[in-house]
Amino acid sequence: MLTLRERQKQRRRDRIFRTAINLFREKGFHQTTATDIAKASHVSRGTFFNYYSYKEAVLLDFGAQLLNELREQALSELAQGEPPLEVLRRLWNRLAEVSERERVLLSPLAYELLNPDPQRAKAAFEALPLGDLIAEILHPLRTQGRLRQDMSLERISRSIADVYLLSALRWAAYTPGRQLKDEMNKFLDLMLEGALAREAAKPAKAARTSS
């Protein structure tokens, strides 16, 4: 049970979070200041920074919520016996869809993962463990011997997560007119060809071609 003070703090944090996200969507992330968020949330600028050390930290909460929803969907599909590669493909397409829909929010969030400040980059990495989710999805393939053995599951999974990040950044910066889903799937196919053991790569590629 939370104390009254803890519940009040949580409600205030939720209000600041919702207000910030709405302002980011309405005005744009870079056009919205911490002062704007504080005023709209009916708190002082200092109070905003008590809850969020920097503006991008709001986006980390947003991304963490999205990733938790995607994780629940993916793990539910695995529990129902869906093939891991199909679950990964669905996750990939959902990532593309939400990235296109929430481009205003997810583009600066993606850049936060590359922040030159190591503490900021670490905070983003820990808040958005996409590689860990991919590892959970691919773990059955590892136990079946269907992944190459000269690379760890962690390294394979984080490399695939990096492909999402780079695909999203390139799309947002250079090719926003294209479908992000198409771009991401091209790169995922390349990654899986390298990650799967040779005998597993052929059926995976055939399944992708037939679909």
Q: Could you give all domains of the chain from N- to C-terminal order, each with its CATH number?
A: 7-52 (1.10.10.60), 55-192 (1.10.357.10)
| Crossing angle of helices 34-41 and 4-27, rounded to 10° | 120
Count, residues in the chain: 211
Rg (CA), the chain: 19
- The model carries a pTM of 0.86
Q: What is the pLDDT of residue 138?
A: 96
Tens digits of pLDDT across the chain (211 residues): 778 888 899 999 999 999 999 999 999 999 999 999 999 999 999 999 999 999 999 999 999 999 999 999 999 999 999 999 999 999 999 999 999 999 889 889 989 999 999 999 999 999 999 999 999 999 999 999 999 999 999 999 999 999 999 888 888 887 767 888 988 998 899 899 988 876 555 555 555 555 4
196 bridge partner residues: 147
Distances (CA, A) of 194 to 93, 118, 190: 20, 30, 7
User: What tokens appear for 144 in the block?
Assistant: 């079946």
